Structure 1
């Protein structure tokens, strides 16, 4: 079942076409990696999925009844409330979603994200890895159908990257659909069921990591990426 479908979507910025006849779909309960150079159109695409920006032409269809799914978003920087602990931040964000944030619910949620021991720590004092986990925790508080992650493990050490991978796969096992952007090709290969490569506002390639590596007869996704956007000579 398709949870989102783009049909010939175009978007202009100051008369410049930045998204060009973009067509793709994201299926329920799959993990999709969206990759591309800066300026490829990834952020604009995500903004249109969220409804923060509307296409100038074409159509975005949500699910079978065109009803926008519940969406959770984790940005690279989440504006935690200054001077508030992990637990207090969780309660506040839960209030925004009209959730019943009982003591038991908070404990279970924090334990799921390995943050229970830090519940009385100021969110601003957490390590980068802990902040990433708290951001993901907040993004999924309302049990959304679709979770969008922007560079979920950027800046993390291998242990932190592994933690994020485990949490993303746990969400998938619950039936959550995940769209994430990343410049880390190893992360993409380890997490994504399918990748979509954007270049200059168009979808230059899509498929599973293994399918694309075989198709282009290369060793890794980095080579797939550069070949798909016509820069294979970077490896010569």
Structure 2
């Protein structure tokens, strides 16, 4: 599979504290990669560097194209929907930012695929948290990106909402879209990730497939492995 991102020896310091410490990350086409770690492990800082939001202090990041920002879809922990505008209108407005004009039928098809057609006239800010997260992924993928980056996409959701997000991530993979997501939920990671990176104090403690890591470290599940590596 073609590499979309290859990051080598990335480091980021805030004042006297090293929050990302010489890490290496590769993301390949059609691959689902999960970053897991406790709060403050460096997950969000790593994602921000990969997106070019903040610069790394040292290390290199190579992308598959010079216009990579146009080919990446990003959903951070909150998406600023247009207040006072409906779900349908938010899709239109975000599409316009990408220079995309969608017909009514095309919008309805997207909303149907994410189980949002019945609320298309509802103001986006009045949706439930799960509905807002699904809408956020719609607007994140309107321009058909090669890579989608999701920062804790299922945080705060009930089991049904978590399942919905997991199914969406799997559908993206079926379309050959690579997904990088952060999570605290080891069961979610086990269910959807091809590869998992376990971060602790800015370092990558383990990198591999969930099954491969459990076999290598002789643990029964990812949660046990996580605690073993981050104690």
TM-score computed with the length of structure 2 as normaliser:
0.94
Structure 2 CA distance, aligned partners of 1:117 and 1:203?
43
Hey, what's the Cα distance between the residues in 2 that align with 1:24 and 1:227?
Answer: 22
Offset at 1:67? 5.0
Q: Does 1:153 align with 2:154?
A: yes
The separation in 2 between residues aligned to 1:91 and 1:167, in whole angstroms, is 21
The Cα shift of 1:24 comes to: 2.1
- Output aligned runs, 1:18-33, within 5 Å: 18-33=19-34
C-alpha contact 2:83 2:125 (8 A) present in aligned 1: yes
Alpha carbons 2:44, 2:151 under 8 Å: kept: no
CA-to-aligned-CA distance 1:78-113 (integer Å, 9 cap, x gap): 111111110011111111111112212211111111
Partner of 1:83: 84
The residue that corresponds to 1:234 in the other structure is none
Give me the whole-angstrom Cα distance separating, in 2, the residues matched to 1:28 and 1:58: 22
Alignment of 1:47-66 (within 5 A): 47-63=48-64
Q: List structure 1 runs of 4+ shifted beyond 3 angstroms.
A: none
Match of 2:68 in 1: 68
Which residues of 2 match residues 1-236 of structure 1 at below 5 A?
Answer: 1-63=2-64, 68=68, 70-229=71-230, 231=231
Structure-2 separation of matches of 1:37 and 1:148: 19
Q: Whole-Å Cα distance in 1 between the matches of residues 208 and 162 of structure 2? A: 23
Report deviation, 1:18. Answer: 2.1
- Residue 72 of structure 2 contacts residue 148 of structure 2 at CA under 8 Å; is this kept in 1? yes
Q: Aligned to 1:24, what secondary structure does the other structure show?
A: strand
Determine the C-alpha separation between the residues in 2 that align with 1:55 and 1:110.
37
Give the alignment's Cα RMSD to 1 decimal. Answer: 1.4
Deviates more, 1:12-21 or 1:126-135: 12-21
Give the Cα–Cα distance (whole angstroms) in 1 for the partners of residues 173 and 138 of structure 2: 14
TM-score normalised to structure 1 length: 0.93
Question: By how many angstroms is 1:176 displaced?
Answer: 0.3
Unmatched 5+ stretches in structure 2: none
CA offsets, 1:154-182, max 9 Å, x none? 12222111111111111100010000000
In structure 2, distance between residues paired with 1:67 and 1:166? 29
